[in-house]
Amino acid sequence: MAVSEKHTIAVLISGSGSNLQAIIDASERGEIPCRVGIVLSNKEDAYGLDRAKKHGIPTEVVSHKEFPTREAFDRRLIEVIRKSGAALVCLAGFMRVLTPVFVQAFPHRILNIHPALLPSFPGTHGPKQALDHGVRFSGCTVHFLDEGVDTGPIIVQAIVPVYDDDTEDTLAARILVQEHKIYPMAIRLFFQGKLKIEGRRVRVLGEPKIPEFFHRNPDA
């Protein structure tokens, strides 16, 4: 699939940026029809900024601490993203709750990734919540952002087993491997025009039906 120069995306991060890296790599391999046009971070020491720079991608730090309200912070983010011309906004480990001002600025054009099988275990520490609850499977979710916390329409999910000797770190690491697969997948489906939002549901046009549920994992 050829990368179309007309689609650029904005990626918002706060930390390591391994999902950002997966998106950059998928773009450079031509697996998604877009390129990362700007990386925004609310933290100046986010390692993801270094990752972006290594690939020649423009970065900008917008510290939430410099704004009197959440809305004022969001308005600055909106300004930077609009200037970049991004057609899609991807939250990738961005640790700030965005207000309706932000959500309404890019209707149905903001994706988020969460390290749990939503609607279970929203908010922070998804892997720990899953361990504490004692579930046998957890996973990750890419969804459209709405005005709630991790409540928007679900696009792609992947599952991982939870083992008895798991710690929060081992489970989070297993989930992260799947995150790196499903985020580029969701972006590809978005730009292919295959996602149709119907209320809470997202229909994926042309999705093949596979009888075994575990085959729904992207690497199966």
Q: Which residue ranges make up the site for ligand GRF (CB under 6 A)?
A: 13, 15-19, 48, 92-93, 113-115, 176, 179
Q: How far is the CB of 197 from ligand GRF (least distance, A)?
A: 21
Active site residue 114: yes
For ligand GRF, give the closer residue by CB, 62 or 176: 176
For ligand GRF, give the closer residue by CB, 17 or 37: 17
Annotated catalytic residue within 7, 64, 114, 215: 114
Q: How far is the CB of 124 from ligand GRF (least distance, A)?
A: 9
Q: How far is the CB of 20 from ligand GRF (least distance, A)?
A: 6
Name the residue whose CB lies closest to ligand GRF: 93
For ligand GRF, give the closer residue by CB, 43 or 79: 43
Secondary structure (H, E, C), 85-138: CCCEEEECCCCCCCCHHHHHHCCCCEEEEECCCCCCCCCCCHHHHHHHHCCCEE
Angle 63-68-72 from CA coordinates, rounded to 5°: 75
User: CB of 173 within 8 A of CB of 144?
Assistant: no
User: CB of 136 within 8 A of CB of 159?
Assistant: no
For ligand GRF, give the closer residue by CB, 106 or 121: 121
Residue 155 makes CB contacts below 8 A (sequence gap 6+) with: 111, 142, 143, 144, 186, 189, 190, 195, 202, 204
Q: How far is the CB of 100 from ligand GRF (least distance, A)?
A: 20
Amino acid, single-letter form, for residue 43: K
Q: Enumerate the active-site residues.
A: 114
